[in-house]
Amino acid sequence: MSGILSLVRSDLAGFAGYSSAAKESDGFELSIKLDANESPWLPFGEVSSLCPVNRYAEPQPAALHARMSAAWGINPQQLLLTCGSDQGIDILLRLFCTAGLDEILVCPPTFSMYEVYARLQGAKVLSVPLLENGQLDMTAIFRTITNRTKLIFIPAPNAPMGHAMNKDDILALCAERNGKSLIVVDEAYAAFSNDPDGVVPVLGKIPNLVILRTLSKAYALAGERVGCVIGEPKIIEALSAIIPPYPLAQSAVRAALDTLSPTGLAQTISRLKILKSEKKYLAEKLYEAEGVVRIYPSETNFLFVETTGAKDFMERLRRFGIQIRNMEYQKTNAVRISIGKPEENDFLLMALGVKTDRVSQSLRSASVQRKTKETAIDVFVDLDNRAQSQISTGIPFFDHMLYQVAVHGNFFLSLHAQGDLHIDNHHTIEDCALALGEAMNKALGDKKGLARFGFIVPMDESLANVVLDLSGRPFAQIEMTVQASPCDGMGIDLAEHFFRSFAVSLGATLHIKAVGTNNHHVIEASFKALGRALQQALVCEGSTLPSTKGVL
Ligand SMILES: *Cc1c(COP(=O)(O)O)cnc(C)c1O
C-alpha cells in the first residue's frame, strides 16, 4: 500500500465492509424493490408522506452528494457524507488508530468529542495546549508527536473559544507530518468566519489534509444529522468501506437537499449576515452587564465569556428561562452564549440588566415552499437586504419581470420554480405569484411602520399606474390595455392573472391601470411600477401602524 493508505490500521487493510443491498445493486433503478426487506408501505404519520421513509436512503445519496460538493467547490470524489461530522471523527479514529498502539493529538481548549471517540477506540490522547494567543504551539507539538500519532485534530475556527486559527501553522503542520499523520481540520464554524472557504482551496495539493464540515450550525440542520468528511479520494474510499451502510435518514437527505438548494443557500447567507451583526452588538453590549469580565474574539455563532462566577451568572439567566452553557471544564468561570434571534439577544441583555435602546427589529424575511402536481417553487424574500436577486422560473421574460419587482421594490428575492411549462406557462406564473405574495406577507410580520403608496411608470408609449395598500384586505382591480400581440412567455391575460393572484396571497389592495401599444412595454411598466409602489410601502417609517384601526 502506498502513501496515505499506509497509515490505515494494518488489520483493516483492504477491508471491504458490509455488503448492503444498495452496494450490490448495479445502480439500475427497477420499479419494484424486493431486495432489502423494507416495508412496501409508508408508515403512519404526516411527515413520512414527504419522503419514502419506508426505504433505506442511498448509502451516499447522489443528488445530495452532488449538491454539497457544488456548494463548497469540492471534487465529488473528495467528499463522504456522514451522520453529522461527529460520525466523521468516529470513523477516522476507527480506520486509522489501532487500539492500545496509536495516538491522536489535540490542542486544548478544544472540542471534546475528539477525545471521547479516541477513548472509545482505545487510542491514546496527546495534548498540547494552545499558546496564550490562542494559536498552535508548533514547537511543543513537534516535541510531543511520535511515529504513532495518526491524527491531529484542529477545530478552525476554534471551539470552544471561537477565534480564527492561523492557516500557515496548519499548512506547516501538514507539510512536516506528510506521510506520517493526517491533519483533521474541523470547519464546523467556518461559514460564520471571515474566511468561509477555510482550507478547502488547498485541498488536492496536500495529501494528508482532512476537513470536517457539518450542516448542523450555519445551515440550521442540527436535528437531521448531516455532515461530511472531505479529503483525498483514497481516504474517502477507505472511509466509505467502514462507515455504517446507511448513515443518512431519508428525512435528513430531504432536508439537506432543501437547505443546499439555491433558495436555501440564499436564506443561509442572509441569516449569516444577521448573526454577524447580532454577535457584534451582543459583544459590545455584554460588557455593560454586571459579572462580565472578558469576551473572547469570535468568528463563530457563539461568544466565550469569562464571568466573575459562572454558576451565579447562569442562575441569573435561568430565572428568565434562558439557558447558556457552562464552560468551567475548559476555563474557570467561563460560559458560552450562542447568538440567538435579535429579540432573544435583547431579552438576554434585559435579563442581565443592560438597557437596550434599539427598537427590537423583527426580521423582515421569510421563505415559502409551494409544491403542487404542476409546480415546485422555492421563495425567499428579505425586505432589508439589497443583494442581487436570483430568479429562475424557466420563463426568461417572467424572470425579467420578477427581477424588476425586486430591483424597484429594493428587496432581495430568491425565487426558483420548476413547472409544467411543456403544457403552458399559466400554472408557473400563477403559483409564483401566490408563493411570492405569501412570502412577502410573512416577511412583513406585524406590519409595524408600513406605509401605503402608489407609483406611475412610463415606458415610451406605455403608461402604468399602480396603487397599493398593504391593507390585509385582498382586492385587485387590474385593467391593462394593449393593441399589439403577446410577447414571449407572457401575454396581458397572464400578467393580469399574476397581479390578481399576488394581491390575494399578499393580502393587498392593488389597483393597476396600464395602457400602451406595445405588449412588452405595458407589462414591464406595470411590474416596475409595482416594484416602486412596494418600495414605498415597505419602507419602515417608525414603529406605529399607519392605520387608525391600529391593525392592518
Ligand atoms: C457542533 C460541532 C461538531 C459536531 O457537528 P455535528 O455535525 O452536529 O456532529 C463538530 N465539531 C465542532 C467543533 C462542533 O462545534
pLDDT tens digit sequence for 166-196: 999 999 999 999 999 999 999 999 999 999 9
> From the CB of 216, is ligand 1 less than 6 Å away?
yes
Q: Say how far apart CA 210 and CA 486 lie, in whole Å.
A: 56
Ligand 1 midpoint to CA 529 (Å)? 48
State the cell numbers at 270.
442572509
The tens digit of pLDDT for each residue in 446-492 reads: 765 566 677 888 888 889 999 988 877 889 999 998 876 666 778 88
**Low-confidence spans in the chain with pLDDT less than 70:** 1-2, 26-29, 47, 359-362, 447-452, 484-487, 540-552
pTM of the model: 0.85
Q: What percent of the chain shows pLDDT beyond 70?
A: 93
Mutation test residue for ligand 1: of 114, 216, 219, 336, the one with most atoms within 8 Å of CB? 216
> From the CB of 90, is ligand 1 less than 6 Å away?
no
pLDDT at res. 548: 41
pLDDT at res. 449: 52
Ligand 1 midpoint to CA 64 (Å)? 20
Of 121, 125, 122, 102, the C-alpha closest to 112 is 125
425, 434 Cβ separation under 8 angstroms: no
Ligand 1 midpoint to CA 221 (Å)? 11
Ligand 1 midpoint to CA 501 (Å)? 44
Of 265, 261, 135, 83, the C-alpha closest to 191 is 265
Q: Say how far apart CA 185 and CA 166 lie, in whole Å.
A: 12
Q: Say how far apart CA 212 and CA 192 lie, in whole Å.
A: 15
> From the CB of 82, is ligand 1 less than 6 Å away?
no
pLDDT at res. 367: 87
